[in-house]
Amino acid sequence: MPMRGAVIHRAGDVRVEEREDPAILEASDAIVRTVATCVCGSDLWRYRGLAPVPEPVPIGHEYVGVVTEAGAAVRSVQVGDFVIGGFLHSDGTCVLCRKGAQANCLHGGGYDGCQAEAIRIPNADGTLVSTPGEPDAVLIPSLLTLSDVMCTGWHAAVSAGVGPGMSVAVVGDGAVGLCAVLAAAQMGAEQVIAMSRRAARQRLATAFGATAIVAERDDAGAARVRDLTSGVGADAVLECVGTESARLQAVASVRAGGQIGVVGLPHGEMPTAELFWRNIALRGGPAPVRAYLDQLLDLVWTGQIEPGAVFDLELPLVDVAEAYRAMDERRAIKALLWA
Ligand SMILES: [Zn+2]
């Protein structure tokens, strides 16, 4: 049986095509009928030709949906469950998973394209979390952010050691940066400085808990952050872009002895000598989504956070090409695709 799924052929060329219906290959697999998926800022690296596309390949790594089939070894989810899984699968049992490093699971990996009507989920027990019941449609966008951007923003804040009373600056006003603002506010930061030049994103940052907006960039941006933080820079900086200029912005905006949480896909260098002389700690990487899912699902389910507000464009899956165009042209912060 064929299904429909997105395939990237080359930069600027993402199409919905008929693909083979996924099947259970291992006893630990589950099959999920996708309810909603979305386009990630990290998908745009290939779409913009900044990362190679050697051959046509299914694309997408964020999803929520309903389990339609479970392998014989699957225990934690059942057919009919509404589930969320992170952008990488993990077994939940290896020595790294048990230490909370699920993004680096010894038996983990990615998926065969989640911008699709159905997805094979390896390691279903260690990856999927069922919602407490059938979600209201209005909750689905926020649940979908837990597959990546909300957990990634949260990971930036965890990596930078954000806690009550701290000053936090967030570099990047994409969906991850906005979720990082929300995370820092949830963790009790006293000051949350969102660096953004676009009015719609500034408004969303403020709604998510930003206490100040800095529209300036580079030296002027770092100077504004110092103005807001007793002249020294922010206790924590969350770098949510990954470009060299964003990483340098983070280093320039953090105080001596502060911490930087990096979650943008790394492109370019970090000035390690400057990090040393200014006693700056640097942590981060791909988010261990499973480590945060239970807590963040509870916050979404009980209405304490509404990260789904980052979706400002909703389209049917067949319009995936327009979703990529809109994000590439920055007409949309983040595009949701109904499958
Ligand atoms: Zn593992």
pLDDT in tens, 93-127: 999 999 999 999 999 999 999 999 999 999 999 99
Q: How close is the Cα of 88 to the center of ligand 1, in Å? A: 11
Asked if residue 120 lies in contact with residue 31, where contact means CB atoms within 8 angstroms, the answer is yes
Q: Which CATH architecture has domain 2-148+288-338?
A: Alpha-Beta Complex (3.90)
User: Per-domain residue ranges for the chain?
Assistant: 2-148+288-338, 151-284
Give the tens place of pLDDT for each residue, 57-94.
Answer: 999 999 999 999 999 999 999 999 999 999 999 999 99
Per-residue model confidence as pLDDT tens digits over 5-64: 999 999 999 999 999 999 999 999 999 999 999 999 999 999 999 999 999 999 999 999
Q: Which SS3 state, helix, strand or coil, does residue 239 take?
A: strand
Distance 269 CA to ligand 1 centre (A): 30
Which of helix, strand or coil describes residue 121?
A: strand
Residue 4 backbone dihedrals phi, psi, to 5 degrees: -105, 140
Identify residues whose C-beta is under 5 A from ligand 1, the ion.
90-91, 94, 97, 105
Ligand 1 geometric centre to CA of 180 (Å): 26
Answer yes or no: is pLDDT of 318 > 90: yes
31 C-alpha to ligand 1 centroid (Å): 20
Give me ligand 1 centre to Cα 28, in Å: 13
CA 293 to ligand 1 centroid distance, Å = 16
- In the reported structure, the alpha carbon of residue 313 is separated from the centroid of ligand 1 by a whole-number distance in angstroms of 35
Q: Report the SS3 class of residue 205.
A: helix
Residue 1 predicted with pLDDT over 80: no
The pLDDT of residue 173 is above 80? yes
What pLDDT score does 262 carry? 98
Dihedral sign, Cα of residue 124, residue 44, residue 145, residue 251: positive
Other Cβ atoms closer than 10 A to 94: 18
Ligand 1 midpoint to CA 122 (Å): 12
Q: Percent of the chain scored above 70 by pLDDT?
A: 100
* β-bridge partners, 213: 194
Centre of ligand 1 from the C-alpha of residue 130, in Å: 19
Q: Which pLDDT value is given to residue 313? A: 97
Check residue 267 and give its pLDDT. 87
Ligand 1 midpoint to CA 121 (Å) = 14
Residue 4 has pLDDT above 80, yes or no: yes
User: What pLDDT band is residue 196 in, cutting at 50, 70 and 90?
Assistant: very high
Q: Does domain 151-284 have CATH number 3.40.50.720?
A: yes
Please calculate the CA angle 211-215-217 and round it to the nearest 5 degrees. 120
Bridge partners of 109? 89
Average pLDDT, the chain: 97
Give distance in angstroms: CA of 105 to centre of ligand 1.
4
pLDDT tens-digit readout, 292-308: 999 999 999 999 999 99
Both structure tokens of 21: 């219906």
> In CATH terms, are 2-148+288-338 and 151-284 the same topology?
no
Give DSSP secondary structure letters for 130-141. Answer: E-SSPPPGGGHH
Alpha carbon 147 to chain centroid, angstroms: 7
Give the rounded percent of residues in the chain with a pLDDT score beyond 90. 97
State the distance from the centre of ligand 1 to the C-alpha of 231, rounded, in angstroms. 44
* 149-161: b (≥16 Cβ within 10 Å) or e: bbbbbbbbbbbbb
- DSSP class of residue 327? H
- For the residues of 262-282, what is the DSSP string, one character each? E-SPP-S---HHHHHHTT-EE
Kindly tell me the sign of the dihedral angle through the C-alpha atoms of 214, 215, 218, 224: negative
Task: Report the range of poorest mean pLDDT among 182-191, 246-255, 259-268.
Answer: 259-268
Q: What is the pLDDT of residue 269?
A: 86
